[in-house]
Amino acid sequence: MLVLLTILNLLTSSNAVTFFLVVPDGSVSGQLGSSVVLPCTLSPSQDCREFEIQWYRKKDRDNPVLLYKDLKVQENYGDPQYRGRVSLVGDLKKGNVSLKLENLTLADRGEYVCFVDRTKWYDQASVFITVPVVGSPPLQSLTEVGDQVNVTCESDGWSPKPTLTWRDRSGKELWNSPKYYTQDSEGLVSVRSWLMFSPSDSEWISCSVGLSDQEMKEGRVLILNSVSKTLQSGWKAAFLVLLVIFVVVIIFLMIKGHVWRKPSKPPQTDDEAPLFGE
C-alpha cells in the first residue's frame, strides 16, 4: 500500500504545472503623474488564464493592489488607493502577468510582489518602483573662521536620497566633509554639508547634488573673491573712520585757533594821524 501511494504521488507531481516567475533585476522608475509597467512573466511560457494572480505590496498580501481570480480581475477588491489605477497589460495566454500602474505618486514607491498560483504549484517575485524627484539647486554660503573659511551647501526636495560631492578648482574631490540627511512628511529628502577650506588652496570650490542616473546640479563659491571683498570692505570702513577723525581734528584746531588768537591793533584813520610838526 505504501509503495502504491508513493507511485501515485510521483505520477501526480509529474503531471503538475510548474513554472518560475521572471522579473527585472533592477528597479522600475517613473516620474510623478506618469505610468509604469511592472514586468512579470512565467517561464516556461504557458497559458495562465485559469491561474490566480495577485499583485500586492510587501507584507500586505491581505490588501492586494490587484487580484485576478475566476478568469477575471476582481473589481472593488483590495487597497482602495489603487482602484482605477492598475491593470494587467500582458498576454495571459503567453504567461505575461505584468502590471500597469498609472498616475504615480510618491506613496507608490517601494516593493511589489507578483504572485501566481496554480493548484499544486505557485511562485512569487518582487519588483521595485522608484519615483525620482529632482530637488532644488545647491545653496551655498561662506563664513570666515580665522585664516580659513567655512563653506556650507544645502539642497531640498529629492527622491530618492541624493549624493553630495565637493570639488576644488582642479576637479579633485574633497572628502573631509560631513553630510546630514533629513526627510519631510512626504518622503522628500534634504541634504546639508559643510567644509573648512583654506583660500590659498583654490580660488573656488563646487558643491554638486544629484541622483545617480541624472545630471548633477552644481553650485560654486569664489573663495578668494569673497575674502578679497571682505578685506576691501574692512579697508573702506577703516578709511572712512580715519577720514571722519581727521575732519573732526581739523575743525577742532580751527575753532581753538580762533578763540585764542590775540586781536591785532587796528590801523589808524586820517583823523587820528598826528599833525605835521607836532
Element (H, E) at 24: none
Q: So what's the pLDDT on residue 145?
A: 84
Residue ranges of domains in the chain, CATH in brackets: 17-130 (2.60.40.10), 139-227 (2.60.40.10)
Residue 127 makes CB contacts below 8 A (sequence gap 6+) with 23, 24, 27, 28, 38, 39, 40, 111, 112, 113, 114
Nearest to 23 by CA among 6, 44, 41: 41
Residues of the chain under the 50 pLDDT cut = 1-15, 225-235, 273, 275-278
Q: Write phi, then psi, for 271 (nearest 5 degrees).
A: -70, -30
Give me 54's grid cell. 495577485
Give me 247's grid cell. 575732519
Q: So what's the pLDDT on residue 25?
A: 92
Q: Please say whether the beta carbons of 101 and 91 come within 8 A.
A: no
Q: How many CA atoms lie within 13 A of 167 on its CB side?
A: 13
Beta strand pairing call for 28-29 and 121-130: parallel
Q: pLDDT tens digit string along 233-266?
A: 444 555 677 777 877 878 877 887 665 555 555 5
Q: pLDDT tens digit string along 19-40?
A: 999 999 989 999 999 999 999 9
Q: Please say whether the beta carbons of 114 and 127 come within 8 A.
A: yes
